[in-house]
Amino acid sequence: QTKWRSNTKSHKLSVPEQQQRTGHPAVPLPTPGILYKPHHFNITRFFFSQAADLAVQLSSTLKTKPEVSSFGTVFTDHMLTIEWSETEGWQAPLIKPLGNLSVHPACSSLHYGIQLFEGLKAYRGDDNQVRLFRPMLNMNRMANSARRACLPAFDHSELLECIRRLVEIDQDWIPHSDPASLYIRPTFISTEPSLGVKKPCRALLYVILCQAGSYFNKTAAISLWADPKYTRAWKGGTGDCKIGGNYGCSLFAQYEAVDYGCQQVLWLYGEDHQITEAGTMNIFLHWINEDGEAELATPPLDGIILPGITRQSILELTKKWGEFKVTERYLTMGQLCSALKEQRVKELFGSGTACMICPIGHIIYQGQNLHIPCHDENSQLTSRISKELTDIQVGGCVHLHKLRHTQPADVALAQ
């Protein structure tokens, strides 16, 4: 068993010290940080702090770990923080006991929403090894969001190594039961202590962890409410970034969907009512298309769709099967209604980190209650995709993405 919590002193862990504390061979740290020259700041260069500079302050009081908690309610013992300023650049990363943040009341992330976040998971396999699923894709997406929010650039590999160390320290929180996991929430906020809409001169990147059970009831399909009077994102906006404002502004429509007896909103766009996303999920339609072809279709990444990691994995996985057409194309409610009337729809489902795969059973649209097939002989795709992705995440099969195999106490990164 890991012995990371044996003392509470703040210190840096060298590779030999890491090996001595865990009892397992240490994973070598990556090459020192890379020099960056971001185009959106009036500075010529700065360094992202090296993971080798990471300091660790272990908690002296560890919380009782529940068996499995509901999503996003119970957090682990530690967090990662990295501060940045325009004058000094990135400071040394610090893993410390989970605690509240202290920010100035004029902090621009509070007033103007200059902030973003990411979401990925750590899974415990049958071999007791912990794995992160395609985390570099999350780092790339986070960097894209940071550029859009005028927050500073960072080294993807160095940040990922710091996250790996945090997960390694709190790995006892990762449930042994399926499908529970550990949710990882990197967050990046402006800490600019002044009013005025401008690029921040100070920022904080931090990471917290929480247990994650099922986001929805795994045995039931969800219902969606579709009304074009609400729009989640638009061309030229931030729909393709994981920025908090995209989610906060969706709450009003979400609660109206509940008033109609639905669980989520089916977001539509444009005069032709294009299907874009379902709640916070990407959406997929498995059907017989207008040309009589079996097809799995999802809306294209045109700036209003979030480039989901699960979405990309589904596209790559199903294309590799070569059993039906897999496309990124525009889909409208008119096309869906016609296909339902002609019985050409096999399945409709959402995908995302929190829920992974979520079947859709009903849509309320323009006074109609549309029934979507999801529990018959033609709707086996969601179960198959879910099983194959789960096997990849827990390391139970050979898959598309190369694993860096380590000792059971270490954290492997499924790239």
Same-domain pairing of 287 and 243? yes
Q: Which segment of 95-104, 170-179, 233-242, 258-267 scores lowest on mean pLDDT?
A: 170-179
**Helix crossing, 156-169 with 135-148: angle to 10°?**
120
Listed in sequence order, the residues at least 6 apart from 59 whose beta carbon sits closer than 8 Å to its beta carbon are: 5, 8, 77, 78, 97, 98
CA distances from 197 to 113, 149, 191, 192 (A): 10, 12, 13, 10
pLDDT at 218: 56
Among 27-41, 65-79, 107-121, 312-326, which stretch is predicted with the lowest mean pLDDT?
27-41
Range of the domain at 99: 51-59+66-212
State how many domains the chain has: 2
Residues 186 and 268 in one domain: no
Q: What percent of the chain has pLDDT over 90?
A: 70
Residues 202 and 239 in one domain: no
Read off the pLDDT band of 378 (50, 70, 90).
low
Query: Given pLDDT bands bounded at 50, 70 and 90, which one contains residue 219?
Result: low
Which tokens belong to 115? Answer: 């902030």
The residue among 39 and 69 whose pLDDT is bigger is 69
Digit-coded pLDDT (tens) for 86-127: 999 999 999 999 999 999 999 999 999 999 999 999 999 888
Among 144-153, 222-231, 325-334, 381-390, name the one with the lowest average pLDDT: 381-390
More confident call, 22 vs 255:
255
Strand partners, 129: none
Q: Cα 303 to chain center, whole Å?
A: 18
CA atoms of 198 and 151, how far apart (whole Å): 11
Extract the tokens encoding 144. 């894209």
Q: 185-209, pLDDT tens digit by residue? A: 999 999 999 999 999 999 999 999 9
pLDDT digit string, tens, across residues 230-245? 999 999 999 999 999 9
Which pLDDT value is given to residue 375?
A: 65
Residue 45 CA to residue 38 CA, distance in Å, equals: 7
**pLDDT at 27 exceeding the cut of 70:** no
Exposed e or buried b for every residue in 25-50, given b needs 16+ CB within 10 A? ebbebeeebeebebeebeeeebebbb
Q: Is residue 45 part of a domain?
A: no
The encoded tokens of residue 178 equal: 């399926």
- pLDDT at position 176 is 82
Q: How confident is the model at residue 146 (pLDDT cuts 50, 70, 90)?
A: very high
Task: Give a yes or no: residue 9 inside a domain.
Answer: no
- Phi, psi torsion values for 27, nearest 5 degrees: -85, 125
Residues 244 and 155 in one domain: no
Do 175 and 236 have their domain in common?
A: no
The span from the CA of 203 to the CA of 91, in Å, is 11
Q: What is the Cα Rg of the chain in Å?
A: 22
Is the dihedral angle over the CA atoms 89, 91, 97, 99 positive or is it negative?
negative
**pLDDT value of residue 8:** 31
Long-range contacts of 29-33 (CB under 8 A, 24+ apart): 29/161, 30/157, 30/158, 30/161, 31/157, 33/90, 33/155, 33/158
Q: Assess if residue 411 is contained within a domain.
A: no
Residue corresponding to tokens 């040309």: 291
Residue 46 is assigned to a structural domain of this protein: no
Pair (187, 288) in one structural domain: no
Strand partners, 295: 287, 325
Residue 165, phi then psi, degrees to nearest 5:
-65, -40
Average per-residue pLDDT for the chain: 84
pLDDT score recorded for residue 18: 39
Confidence of residue 75 (pLDDT cuts 50, 70, 90): very high
Q: Write out pLDDT tens, residues 272-324.
A: 999 999 999 999 999 999 999 999 999 999 999 999 999 999 999 999 999 99
245 shares its domain with 385: yes
- Asked if the model's pLDDT at residue 131 lies above 60, the reply is yes
Is pLDDT at 11 greater than 60 in this prediction?
no
Q: Tokens representing 397?
A: 């099969």
- What's the pLDDT at 305? 97
pLDDT above 70: percentage of residues in the chain: 80
Output the pLDDT for position 9.
Answer: 35
What CA–CA distance (Å, rounded) separates 306 from 168?
29
Task: Give tens-digit pLDDT for 330-376.
Answer: 999 999 999 999 999 999 999 999 888 999 999 999 999 999 998 66
> Is the bond into 179 cis (omega within 30 degrees of 0)?
yes
Residue 35 lies inside a defined structural domain of this protein: no
Could you tell me if 121 and 180 are in contact, meaning their C-beta atoms sit under 8 angstroms apart?
no
Query: What's the whole-model pTM score?
Result: 0.84
Same domain for 332 and 270: yes
What local confidence, expressed as pLDDT, does residue 379 receive?
A: 63
Q: How confident is the model at residue 377 (pLDDT cuts 50, 70, 90)?
A: low
Return the pLDDT at 411. Answer: 54
Packing angle between helix 381-393 and helix 309-321, nearest 10 degrees? Answer: 110
CATH number at residue 162: 3.30.470.10
Are 284 and 170 within one domain? no
> Higher pLDDT residue, 72 or 344?
344
